[in-house]
Structure 1
Amino acid sequence: MAALAAEALRAVLRRVQAAAERSGRRAEEVRVVAVGKTKPVSLIRDLYDAGHRFFGENYVQEFIQKAPQLPDDIKWHFIGHLQSNKVKSLLGTVPNLQMVEGVDNEKIASHLDRIIASLGRKPLQVFVQVNTSGEGCKYDTIKLKLVLKHFAKSGVQPSDCTALAKHIKLSCPNLIFSGLMTIGRPDYNSTPENFLTLSRCKNEVCQVLGMPEKQCELSMGMSEDFEQAIEMGSTNVRIGTTIFGPREYPKKEKS
């Protein structure tokens, strides 16, 4: 399993390099976050030993169990909607948390800011999560329903992302606004509309904040569409199943 994951990571990095070159950039300009949701600590450690340092998790409880068992030079990303009542445990347990992807309202931004100050942590990088997919579509499989339930309702509307970015930049001194992120369509059909929407949001945010575009990252692209995302300007891709294999969700017992 470990050897397969390491080889899968190397294959992903080769594909990232090729996609980056097609976009006129170097591979070093694209960050690959290996998302180990439901995977054992041992498998993450194997990829760490192979030289990778960027890892992500989606669920706070799983995150705070795993992170203390792994080296402290890992650059951790929390990905998705973060509940206010779990902020303190996450920040207190994972001192090497580098990024929250993403902040989706002013309340959670301000709460993160206060908790960071109370813990004496250095400022934390954040991406604003933008809902580029909309709602109203139907999904037939259990997997897609799970994805939709966890992610699709999170994220500010594109028309509101500038106001949230401005709030973070001007009113949250313990947060570093670093860019925008989107989960994309829950059916992973690799259509470009989500990426185009996020790119337009970036242009608007940079204009309003007077921020150089190179300082505003785009986190978009996962296992099914990361190459297209890179070609359309993504600087941060989140790869799970292509590296680690299918998720291993616990089976529910029959009542």
Structure 2
Amino acid sequence: MIKDDYEAVEANIEKACRKAGRSRSEVTLIAVSKTKPVEMLREVYGLGQRDFGENKVQEMKDKIPQLPDDIRWHLIGHLQRNKVKYIAGTVAMIHSVDTWELAQTIQKEAAKHNRVIPVLLEVNVAGEDSKFGLTVADTPALVRKIAELPNVRVEGLMTVAPYVPDPEENRPVFRTLRQLSVDIAGENIDNVNMNVLSMGMTNDYEVAIEEGATLVRVGTGIFGARNYNVEN
């Protein structure tokens, strides 16, 4: 079942890339494994998947030692400053930076591990009250500030689009994030890349790819519905 679903997602990504005139190699699939048992992650790993996303620090921390060390772990959920220390040595990328204070904490913990942590700034493009993230207008200023931190590298932007019945409704959200990344890239800020756009989930990742996503975060489409009663 997981194999079939995983292969279907891969086929959809390939199709969306072709439609957009893009190479499949431009898009990385992140298997969002929150609330899922390690056995299921191992199965997807066996199919060739190497990028996994977790929302909660504790869950990521628990899973890492149980799985192969060539997995790239992405922290995609809201990150509390007091939890950064638990993942600073292992996380491949943090997708959800939305305050200067959080960036400073990442800098402090990354320096302890003598590494540079790649981050994305989370932008609440749709302005939903229920979601974290910067406004489009406030994002460039925070990028410029974070650029001064030697152990943090801004690689791009991330957004969580609204859940909508028709994925086409989110096309303007994705288009706005891409344009914002182009505008920031045009400033040629040292220590800042705008090569990564993390946008699109199970419901709308194909549209996101058509609009320039380089990372898509798919959980339910691979693993099935989540069990939120699992203790994390």
Which bin holds the TM-score, normalised by the shorter protein?
over 0.9
CA separation of 1:251 and 1:38: change in aligned 2, threshold 3 A? closer
Structure 2 residue matching 1:208: 3-state secondary structure: coil
**1:124 and 2:117 matched:** yes
2:177 to 198, 203, 209: 198
Q: Aligned equivalents of 1:219 and 1:234: distance in 2? A: 6
**1:242 and 2:221 matched:** yes
Shift in Å at residue 215 of structure 1? 4.7
CA displacement, residues 133-155 of structure 1 (integer Å, 9 cap, x when unaligned): 1136xxxxxxxxxxx4xxx1x11
Structure 1 residue matching 2:21: 3-state secondary structure: coil
Q: Aligned equivalents of 2:230 and 2:181: distance in 1? A: 40
Instruction: Select between 198-207 and 71-80 the one with higher mean Cα deviation.
Output: 198-207
Number of the residue aligned with 1:143: none
Shift in Å at residue 187 of structure 1? 4.2
Spell out the pairing of 1:85-124 with structure 2 (5 A cutoff): 85-92=82-89, 95=90, 97-120=91-114, 122-124=115-117
Number of the residue aligned with 1:159: 137
Shift in Å at residue 34 of structure 1? 0.2
**1:228 and 2:207 matched:** yes
Shift in Å at residue 23 of structure 1? 1.1
Unaligned runs of 5+ in 2: none
Q: What's the TM-score, normalizing by structure 1?
A: 0.84
Q: What's the TM-score, normalizing by structure 2?
A: 0.92
**Number of aligned positions between the proteins:** 228
CA separation of 1:235 and 1:189: change in aligned 2, threshold 3 A? same
CA separation of 1:180 and 1:215: change in aligned 2, threshold 3 A? closer
RMSD: 1.9
2:72 to 72, 75, 79: 75
Shift in Å at residue 204 of structure 1? 1.6
2:9 to 7, 12, 16: 12
Shift in Å at residue 15 of structure 1? 0.6
Amino acid in the other structure paired with 1:184:
A
Q: Aligned equivalents of 1:251 and 1:86: distance in 2? A: 20
Amino acid in the other structure paired with 1:59:
K
Shift in Å at residue 30 of structure 1? 0.2
Unaligned runs of 5+ in 1: 137-147
Number of the residue aligned with 1:27: 24
Number of the residue aligned with 2:40: 43
CA displacement, residues 196-241 of structure 1 (integer Å, 9 cap, x when unaligned): 2212211221112358x98521111000000000001111100000
**1:184 and 2:161 matched:** yes
Q: Aligned equivalents of 2:60 and 2:227: distance in 1? A: 15
Structure 1 residue matching 2:68: 3-state secondary structure: coil
Shift in Å at residue 123 of structure 1? 0.9
